[in-house]
Structure 1
Amino acid sequence: MRMLVAGGTGHVGSRLTARLRELGHDVVVGSRRDGFDPVTGAGVGDTVRGADVVVDVLNSPEMAAAAATAFFRGTTERLLAAELSTGVRHHVLLSVVGADRALANGYYVGKVAQEDAVREGEVPFTIVRATQFHDFVPTIADWLTVDGTVQATGTLLQPVAVEDVVDLLAEVAQGAPLQDTVDLAGPDRYRLDDLLRATLADRSDPREVVTVDGAALGAESADALVPLGAHRRGGRRYPVAGVPVAGGAAGTAA
């Protein structure tokens, strides 16, 4: 099949492009350096033309709700319009588990708006929602650092390896549209404070992690960012030993 990976030079997209090519697919990389800009619409129609499947792994650093929504919904609507006019059979979107339960976080507001655009569109779709990536955990510590101390809550996280995300995206892209959402999480569930404490120790980072009350990352409750029902479970464990497991991570192996 001919597949377009929108955001194909990024953290997920570059790995997904390589995986799909290993599987024998004709993969087009959608990136600005190749004349593909879904923010402005430039080159989108020409790049999409001929694709059977479009996988959208575009990302943005925007954290304000209005800016994140403008990026995620806007790029998605431009992609979908081009797909509809060129006969794309399947739109696959990468989103975030619990985004709709963490709406104090502007980035997640944008992702929810993006999911809405996909559901409202006419192109058959599958939405893959993943939990936070393993390699994103140190960034969370940086976000929560105040005066040299990491102030973390007991919010639950179930981090997943980016390789497991790529595996599932490739599987979904090769299959029929589900017209539904598939959740993916790692095999183990942790408290955020425990996870950060062990991660920083493993990196010989001297910052102290202090446990504070409340939720984190815009979550509405302690379990807002983990799957609450049926989900796929990645097989790669978090690569730091000694993190106490919080439990409750049952799911179907990816």
Structure 2
Amino acid sequence: MKIVVIGGTGLIGSKAVSILRQGGHDVVAASPNSGVNTITGEGLREALAGAQVVVDLSNSPSFEDKAVLEFFETSGRHLLAAETEAGVKHHVALSIVGTDRTPDNGYFRAKVAQEKLIKASGVPYTIIRATQFMEFLGGIADSCTNGKTVSVSPGLFQPIASDDVAAAVAEAALAEPRNGTIEIAGPERAPFNEIIARYLKAVGDSREVICDPEALYFGGKVEEQSLVPLGQARLGRIDFAEWHRRSTAKA
């Protein structure tokens, strides 16, 4: 089966491509560097010719509110139109748990817009909403830092390892379209501030984590359950301790 992975060289894409290729599938790892650009439409027709499945893992180079919305709307329209023309049977997209519950977050609003385009396209689809990746805990801490303190909301958080995300994406690509949404999350749920404090301690970072109910998460206020699944979700197998052990071993 031919599967095109848009964003196939990124963190999740490269792992998903490897899993699918190991399964014997014809996988195209598409990205602007390979001549496939969803913003301009360049190379889409050629890449999608004969494809049964398209996995969209594209991401905006800018997280500024207007730019990220334009990226996902433009990219989504071009990609879905090309899929319709090529007769693609299944569109798989990676989104975020809580996108529709954090309206102050511009990135989340852009992902909601992307999801709406998918649902209206007529292409059979599966949307996978994931919680935040463990690989980004350091960047989150940096974004919340003022001097030697890190202000983080006590809202619940359930980060997932990228290996588990890639496995879920690959599994969805090989399954029948859900025409609906799957939610995935890490195996451990705890207050956001406690998880960040645990991460900083594990990496030997002396910054102090302050529990601040008013702390923003990339511009959005975090309620108790803004960032975790509300209902049934598929849980990853890799907990924080195992993820940190693997990360340390790779370094």
The TM-score normalised by the length of structure 2 is 0.92
Q: Unpaired runs of 5+ in structure 1?
A: 242-254
Offset at 1:32? 1.1
Task: Give the residue type in structure 1 aligned to 2:202.
Answer: D
Determine helix, strand or coil for the equivalent of 2:11.
coil
Task: Give the residue type in structure 2 aligned to 1:225.
Answer: L
Point out the more displaced range, 206-215 or 25-34: 206-215
Distance 2:242 2:89 in 1: 41
Aligned to 1:232: 234
Aligned to 2:198: 198
Offset at 1:210? 1.2
Q: Deviations over 1:107-139 (max 9, x none)?
A: 111111111110111111000000001111111
Superposition misfits of 4+ residues, deviation over 4 angstroms: none
| Paired residues for 1:94-243 under 5 Å | 94-214=94-214, 216-217=216-217, 218-239=220-241
Task: Give the residue type in structure 2 aligned to 1:233.
Answer: L
Determine helix, strand or coil for the equivalent of 2:55.
strand
Aligned to 2:90: 90
Distance 1:182 1:80 in 2: 20
Identity across matched positions, percent: 42
Point out the more displaced range, 205-214 or 222-231: 205-214
Point out the more displaced range, 55-64 or 211-220: 211-220
Between structures 1 and 2, the one with greater helix share: 2
Distance 1:5 1:28 in 2: 6
Q: Unpaired runs of 5+ in structure 2?
A: 244-251
Contact 2:151–2:215 (CA<8 Å) still a contact in 1?
A: no
Offset at 1:147? 2.4
Offset at 1:233? 0.9
Is 1:16 the equivalent of 2:10?
Answer: no
Q: Deviations over 1:7-66 (max 9, x none)?
A: 001011011111100011000111112110111111111111111000000112422222
The TM-score normalised by the length of structure 1 is 0.91
Distance 1:180 1:170 in 2: 17
Task: Give the residue type in structure 2 aligned to 1:232.
Answer: R
Aligned to 1:37: 37
| Paired residues for 1:46-85 under 5 Å | 46-85=46-85
Distance 1:109 1:216 in 2: 15
* Aligned alpha-carbon RMSD (Å): 1.4
Aligned to 1:251: none
Point out the more displaced range, 124-133 or 64-73: 64-73
Distance 1:240 1:195 in 2: 14
Determine helix, strand or coil for the equivalent of 1:182.
strand
Determine helix, strand or coil for the equivalent of 1:12.
helix
Contact 2:153–2:222 (CA<8 Å) still a contact in 1?
A: no
